[in-house]
Structure 1
Amino acid sequence: MKQSEIKELSTAELQEKLGETKKSYADLKLAHAISPLENPIQLRALRRTVARIATEITKREVQ
């Protein structure tokens, strides 16, 4: 998910998306621990998406 897409979402939508993305990351990480993923770069992409969403939420809370 790109930063421009994240900025367009409302705060409630960001909270929901953060939960979904964290769950998806945890599931993928568990699957990778059991057997190697075909594309392990997915883990990095999801982790960075979680960080982008969390950063945007924090930025909105500060303002």
Structure 2
Amino acid sequence: MKQSEITELSVEELKEKVTDFKKQHADLKMAHSVTPLENPLQLRKVKRTVARLATEITKRENQ
């Protein structure tokens, strides 16, 4: 998810996306522990997306 897409979302949508991406990250980690993922960089991408979303939420709450 790009930063420009993140800035267009409301706070409630951001919180929903965070939970969705956290679940996706947990599922990918579990799948990777059982059998190696075809593209293990997916883990990094999802983890960074969660961080971007969380940062945007914090930024908006502090304003």
TM-score, structure 2 normalization: 0.98
RMSD across aligned C-alpha pairs, in angstroms? 0.4
Match runs of 1:1-63 below 5 Å: 1-63=1-63
Report the Cα offset of residue 4 of structure 1.
0.5
Structure 2's unaligned 5+ residue stretches are none
Structure 1 runs of 4+ aligned residues shifted over 2 Å read none
Aligned residues: 63
C-alpha distance in structure 2 between counterparts of 1:59 and 1:30, whole Å: 31
Identity %: 68
